[in-house]
Amino acid sequence: ELGTLGFECTLEEVDLEDITKNQMNTIKACTSEDPGTGNCPVLERPTFDMSKCLQGIYKDLNAYRAELKNFNDQKVLATIDEMMKALKTSSGSAPQPSAGIGLASFKERMRLCSILHAFHIRTVTIDRMMNYLTSLESSL
């Protein structure tokens, strides 16, 4: 938002940063490197691991939560906590929001803009994956 960051935060203004590229994430956990054939062969295989996929989604949320806590946006952190809690109800309590350092420099605000856009795109992927997993469960 212009009021929060001091500039218009649009996709055209930033280079997206994938903070989860070197770790397990939704994309790696829910797909295979071998695309095969068919409309959606990765998901049609009998080897599709639903728990690994859910774990990848959880790790994505946890990575973005850790990154965003430095910017001290309690509303975003609480939303991520609720998503994590829904995925891992048996693990006890979700991490509590902690005070961040705030946004000091323009470079930090640009990075926040980039991370928020990347997180938005990842949440679309997570939403689609969760819809797919729900359809799998209802067809059983």
Domain ranges of the chain: 20-139
Q: What is the pLDDT of residue 133?
A: 87
Q: What is the pLDDT of residue 9?
A: 81
Rg of the chain on CA atoms, in Å: 17
Q: How far apart are CA 61 and CA 123, in angstroms?
A: 9
Q: What is the pLDDT of residue 104?
A: 63
Q: What is the pLDDT of residue 56?
A: 92
Q: What is the pLDDT of residue 15?
A: 81
CA distances from 91 to 58, 64, 95 (A): 12, 19, 11
Q: What is the pLDDT of residue 97?
A: 43
**Chunked mean pLDDT (size 10), the chain, 140 residues:** 67 82 87 60 64 92 91 86 80 44 72 89 92 81
Quick one: tokens of 118?
């990347």
Helix, strand, coil fractions of the chain, as percent rounded to 5: 65, 0, 35
Q: What is the pLDDT of residue 99?
A: 44
The whole model's pTM is what?
0.75
Buried b (16+ CB within 10 A) or exposed e, 24-55: bbbbbbbbeeeeeeeeeeebeeeebeeeebbb
Q: What is the pLDDT of residue 140?
A: 62
Q: What is the pLDDT of residue 111?
A: 86
Q: What is the pLDDT of residue 121?
A: 92
